[in-house]
Homo-oligomer: A and B are copies of this chain.
Amino acid sequence: MTEPVDPELADLYRDFGAEHLVPLWTQLSDLMPMQPTPAAQAHVWRWRTLYPLAARAGDLVPVGRGGERRAIALANPGLSGKPYATPTLWAAIQYLGAHETAPEHRHSQNAFRFVIEGEGVWTVVNGDPVAMRRGDFLLTPGWNFHGHHNDSEHPMAWIDGLDIPFVHYTDAAFFEFGTERVTDEATPPVSRSERLWAHPGLRPLSGLQDTASSPIAAYRWEHTDRALTEQLLLEDEGQPATAGQGHAAVRYVNPTTGGDVMPTIRAEFHRLRAGAATEALREVGSSVWQVFEGRGAIVMDGLRQVVEKGDLIVLPSWTSWSIEAETGFDLFRFSDAPIFERLSFSRSYAERTGP
């Protein structure tokens, strides 16, 4: 705020300052804009850049108690160097070398992993070893103990998504250390949580209490792929199934409620046929996309960026976005949409073009 010329007003403003007071009228347009004016920027991180940097960290930085994880976070260029993809979401590449272990801990922050390539790591969630493989979406909801260990001769990298910025901003963070090694070093192909919960439309009688987060620790690629394949086949047969023309999409859900997998994070997988495109959309809330396979473009507030396997795209709130598929195009997406739905702030605006 510029210095007022009226000396009485200058006095008043100085007295305000001394008493920890700030007038609204000098701040209004910044505080309460006509529509969201995110400091965060739409930005693309390239897998071909990210992965080698993570590998260099693998050589130079040990993983263990204290640092806890060899995770390297996307730091939105608009957010002053903070390790935040958006004001609410954390997105990082995590890298674990052959036979390394990331020790167990738990925290109130909700976390997931998504695997773009590789295998050989088990994440152990509350004592349940969960294999990580390409295309899998894995959950570590708030306050579940978890560690990772690489049982293979090769390094493995994946994407971590959390609500760290939101929880930090709202002062809701709790953290506790667990064991240095994972509590169960078994390497089963599927987790106990899947064996109990990942059966379509079936709920164990031992699990009739609804839970805030999904009890399924791993959503396997084979199921996601099949669901998307079927949607496109149904579309071919003239049946309603897809989210839009040539655009198959599923949301990962909590089977105890049918709602989002975790209270603050929505996760989805999208598949576009070659040549398909989505209509431009603005939504309250931010999101992160990762290209899983194929090649296409994302248009962000009019700016077109070609992206391919592993690339990460960050979209701040109310950014106009659309996707255009050059080839068949598979994308993982996560967002903070549940926050806005549960607090009644959801809004979207579809910019329909053409007739």
Residues of B within 8 A of A176 (CB): 34
**Contact A234 B201, CB 8 Å, known A53-B21, A255-B258:** no
Encode A273-309 as 1/0 by CB contact (under 8 A) with B: 0000000000011100000000000000000000000
Encode A187-230 as 1/0 by CB contact (under 8 A) with B: 00000101111111111111010101110100100011011001
Encode A73-100 as 1/0 by CB contact (under 8 A) with B: 1111100011100011000100000000
Residues of B within 8 A of A70 (CB): 23-25
Is B19 a contact of A164 with CB atoms below 8 Å?
Answer: no
Indicate if A20 sits at the interface (CB-CB under 8 A).
yes
- Interface of A: prevailing SS: loop
> What is the chain B residue whose CB lies nearest that of A199?
B227
> What is the chain B residue whose CB lies nearest that of A171?
B317
Is A234 a contact of B202 with CB atoms below 8 Å?
Answer: no
Is B202 a contact of A34 with CB atoms below 8 Å?
Answer: no
Q: Shortest beta-carbon distance, A172 to chain B, in Å?
A: 4
Is A23 a contact of B57 with CB atoms below 8 Å?
Answer: yes
Picked from B77, B82, B92, B253, the residue with its CB within 8 Å of the CB of A202 is B253
Q: Which of A8-16, A116-124, A148-156 contacts B (4 or more CB under 8 A)?
A: A8-16
Cα distance A38–B107 when bound, in Å?
17
Is B12 a contact of A60 with CB atoms below 8 Å?
Answer: yes
Is A268 a contact of B339 with CB atoms below 8 Å?
Answer: no
Picked from B250, B336, B339, the residue with its CB within 8 Å of the CB of A204 is B250
Which size class do A's interface residues fall under? 35 or more
Q: Shortest beta-carbon distance, A93 to chain B, in Å?
A: 8
> What is the chain B residue whose CB lies nearest that of A341?
B342
Indicate if A49 sits at the interface (CB-CB under 8 A).
yes
Q: Shortest beta-carbon distance, A164 to chain B, in Å?
A: 6
Picked from B81, B233, B250, B345, the residue with its CB within 8 Å of the CB of A172 is B345
Indicate if A320 sits at the interface (CB-CB under 8 A).
no
Residues of B within 8 A of A32 (CB): 107, 109, 164, 168, 173, 175
**Contact A142 B344, CB 8 Å, known A24-B69, A25-B68, A57-B23:** yes
Is A343 a contact of B205 with CB atoms below 8 Å?
Answer: no
Closest 7 CB pairs of A and B: A25-B67, A171-B317, A22-B83, A195-B230, A205-B249, A212-B344, A198-B200
* 5 pairs, CB–CB < 8 Å, chain A vs chain B: A12-B53, A34-B176, A198-B200, A204-B250, A253-B255
